[in-house]
Chains A and B, each alone.
Chain A
Amino acid sequence: MAEKILMKGNEAIGEAAVVAGCRHYFGYPITPQSELIEYMAKRMPQVNGVFLQAESEVAAINMVYGAAGAGARVMTSSSSPGISLKQEGISYIAGAELPCVIVNMVRGGPGLGSIQPGQCDYFQATKGGGHGDYHNIVLAPNSVQEMVDCTVLAFELADKYRNPVMILGDGALGQMMEPVSFPEKSAEAPAKPWASTGLKGRKEPNVINSLHIQAPDLEKHNYHLQMKYRTIKENERRWEEYRTDDAELVLVAYGITARVAQSAMEMARAAGLKVGLFRPITAWPFPYEELGRLVKTAKGFMSVELSAGQMVEDVRLAVNGAKPVYFYGRTGGMICSPKEVFGIVKKIMLGEEEK
């Protein structure tokens, strides 16, 4: 690890991509992630890479498809409305089993929404987003340093599973500055004998494709994808727990909200209330098992989100009716404060809050 430098979240992701061996970036400007596309515009030529500003998000993700199919480590980034446009391409990329990294600095929605932070893209990030039965691997960092670590990891996981990986950030994480350090390099990209590089002496052509026009063939392909997703679920769940051992109320939060929830937890502990925090780092695969284990000790759970309640559905699945699940969220680009969350925590623990 090199020395620490102060960097903005969006730019730190860009530098981490360079470290990870990403040499192709295709994007389209949108607030609040424009610093990332600007960083790549500056950085890619310096490392003999390719930067291209596409005519639209739709074109950008399809350039990613082409580059990933041709064997490159490739990235794109956007924010909520732009990610909606990219969903067509993401479905094709998932269907064709291509590795790529997609960054989503989420902002308030729906529609044009706002340019302030949000977590209202959880559903589209984790439940498919585009058409068909598929999943992205979704990494949800909560600091600028973790955005660096997750970006490097994202490229490795993408190649390992030939699957799109999404970094699910938000406007606050993208815009904030924190000290970070970068690894010297990431694991080398594996050989990609399946890529469409031109035959170059190979006998059989490589075809990058998501079309299986015969129904039995497509079903077989879907079974194959589901088997892969099962492997990912078994091997790639990531999470952190804070003071959950004796917690009566477990807060569940990811990304920027996890930091708010952690402060609220500390306020609660100072007031003698046994509160803990469970933080998914992989939003997909969601750590159901690990969260579910806490039903033995906790009396209740509360999902804290910058949405009208999306991850709370996964929390309910994990808790499976064993204990009450509460929800607290802000929307529209509003961020909850630790004091505000602590207020809700107090009410719940005194039995005043409805489920």
Chain B
Amino acid sequence: MAEIAFARPESLRDVPFHYCPGCHHGIIHRLVAEVIDELKVRDRTVGVMPVGCSVLAYEYFNFDTQEAAHGRAPAVATGVKRVHPDNVVFSYQGDGDLASIGCAEIVHAAARGEKITTVFVNNAIYGMTGGQMAPTSLPDQVTTTSPYGRKVESVGMPIKVCEMLSTLDGAKYIARVAVNNPANMAKAKAAIRKAFEVQLSGLGFAIVEVLSTCPTNWGMSPLEAVGWMEKNMMPYYPLGVFKTPEEVAK
């Protein structure tokens, strides 16, 4: 008897992604879906979807979802979670969404120890609006709104979200991962799983930042983009676990 070793997660619908070639959203969606399947919580999950490239994520995930305004996903997720504390509620957000327009919402959701999980996709640029500078764009990075490179003397240094949120007591699990190779994908999945387990344990807020590429707006091939991310993003945004509660540390 042949055994199915690899199949589409039940939490992912059988529809093609719209994402650009080389974009990491597809991988990250799949990891989230696998974790929800493995934790057997699909039946009580509500995902809150962002504005930006992943605005259509509700068409890919196979569970209940709400579409939030730019940056407001943590507030929307708070509303859902407070109505149904037994639901598993997560927000899926990009870096413009979370670190710029929604900075207050993520900081306060973390500060409250809101029992939600956030999957934060950081590709150092605004994708959907066409490659503008993000709060996470690197120094001297050329974007459509930093055509001479990001000048830190006028716009400041990029925001390190994990490090910033680590100062808040309500944030219980904080990790930065990448999906640039299979080994890191396995680590990313483990981190996402732990972030959901923290929520299931009722411990507080959990966030996983996933470093990600944007070949289209970076103007690179998918492979070049992975190389650029490894060379430029990883040194500034070091991978690792910033905070973990003892109860789930094991």
Chain A interface residues toward B at CB < 8 A: 24, 26, 50, 52, 54-56, 58-60, 62-72, 74, 88-89, 92, 96, 196-201, 205-211, 213
25 A-B interface contacts by CB (under 8 A): A24-B79, A24-B83, A26-B79, A50-B82, A55-B108, A56-B104, A62-B72, A63-B79, A66-B79, A66-B81, A66-B82, A67-B83, A70-B87, A72-B83, A89-B69, A89-B72, A196-B46, A196-B64, A198-B45, A198-B87, A206-B65, A208-B65, A208-B67, A209-B66, A209-B67
For the complex, is B159 an interface residue (Cβ under 8 Å from A)? no
Segment of B24-32, B55-63, B176-184, B219-227 in the binding face: B55-63
**Cβ–Cβ < 8 Å partners of B48 in chain A:** 66
Q: How far is the CB of A125 from chain B (nearest CB, A)?
A: 20
**Cβ–Cβ < 8 Å partners of A50 in chain B:** 82-83
A65, B82: Cβ atoms under 8 Å? no
A55, B104: Cβ atoms under 8 Å? yes
Q: How far is the CA of A56 from the CA of B71 in the complex (A)?
A: 13
Q: A55-B105, A201-B43 are in contact. Are A207 and B79 (CB under 8 A)?
A: no
**Cβ–Cβ < 8 Å partners of B42 in chain A:** 199
**Cβ–Cβ < 8 Å partners of B81 in chain A:** 66
Q: How far is the CA of A247 from the CA of B17 in the complex (A)?
A: 67
A205, B67: Cβ atoms under 8 Å? no
**Cβ–Cβ < 8 Å partners of B200 in chain A:** none
Known: A65-B76, A69-B76. 10 other contacts (CB 8 A): A58-B75, A58-B104, A62-B68, A66-B81, A69-B66, A70-B79, A92-B69, A196-B66, A199-B64, A211-B67
A200, B43: Cβ atoms under 8 Å? yes
For the complex, is B117 an interface residue (Cβ under 8 Å from A)? no
A207, B58: Cβ atoms under 8 Å? yes
Most chain B Cβ neighbours within 10 Å, of A63, A64, A68, A71: A63
For the complex, is B40 an interface residue (Cβ under 8 Å from A)? no
Q: How far is the CA of A200 from the CA of B87 in the complex (A)?
A: 10
A205, B64: Cβ atoms under 8 Å? yes
Q: Which of B63, B67, B79 contacts A210 (CB 8 A)?
A: B67
**Cβ–Cβ < 8 Å partners of B45 in chain A:** 198-199
- Judged by DSSP, the binding face of A is mixed
Chain B interface residues toward A at CB < 8 A: 42-46, 48, 55-56, 58, 61-69, 72, 75-84, 87-88, 104-105, 107-108
A198, B44: Cβ atoms under 8 Å? yes
Tell me the total A-B contact number using a CB cutoff of 8 A: 135
Output the nearest chain A residue to B51 by Cβ-Cβ distance.
Answer: A211
7 closest pairs, A vs B, by CB? A66-B79, A62-B75, A198-B44, A67-B79, A66-B76, A55-B108, A63-B79
**Cβ–Cβ < 8 Å partners of A66 in chain B:** 48, 66, 68, 75-83
Q: How far is the CA of A285 from the CA of B68 in the complex (A)?
A: 28
Q: Which of A56, A68, A205, A211 contacts B79 (CB 8 A)?
A: A68
B82, A205: Cβ atoms under 8 Å? no
Q: How far is the CB of A47 from chain B (nearest CB, A)?
A: 14
Q: How far is the CB of B214 from chain A (nearest CB, A)?
A: 20
Q: How far is the CB of A74 from chain B (nearest CB, A)?
A: 7
Most chain B Cβ neighbours within 10 Å, of A50, A52, A208: A208
Q: How far is the CB of A16 from chain B (nearest CB, A)?
A: 21
**Cβ–Cβ < 8 Å partners of B77 in chain A:** 66
Q: How far is the CB of B50 from chain A (nearest CB, A)?
A: 11
Output the nearest chain A residue to B111 by Cβ-Cβ distance.
Answer: A55
Output the nearest chain B residue to A72 by Cβ-Cβ distance.
Answer: B83
**Cβ–Cβ < 8 Å partners of B63 in chain A:** 198-199, 205
Q: A59-B105, A63-B78 are in contact. Are A207 and B83 (CB under 8 A)?
A: no
Output the nearest chain A residue to B77 by Cβ-Cβ distance.
Answer: A66
**Cβ–Cβ < 8 Å partners of A208 in chain B:** 65-67
Q: How far is the CA of A288 from the CA of B212 in the complex (A)?
A: 56
A207, B105: Cβ atoms under 8 Å? no
B82, A67: Cβ atoms under 8 Å? yes
Q: How far is the CB of A41 from chain B (nearest CB, A)?
A: 14
Output the nearest chain B residue to A54 by Cβ-Cβ distance.
Answer: B75
Q: How far is the CA of A258 from the CA of B45 in the complex (A)?
A: 49
Q: Which of A54, A65, A199 contacts B44 (CB 8 A)?
A: A199
Q: How far is the CA of A26 from the CA of B130 in the complex (A)?
A: 35
B56, A213: Cβ atoms under 8 Å? yes
B61, A200: Cβ atoms under 8 Å? no
**Cβ–Cβ < 8 Å partners of A59 in chain B:** 72, 75, 78, 104-105, 108
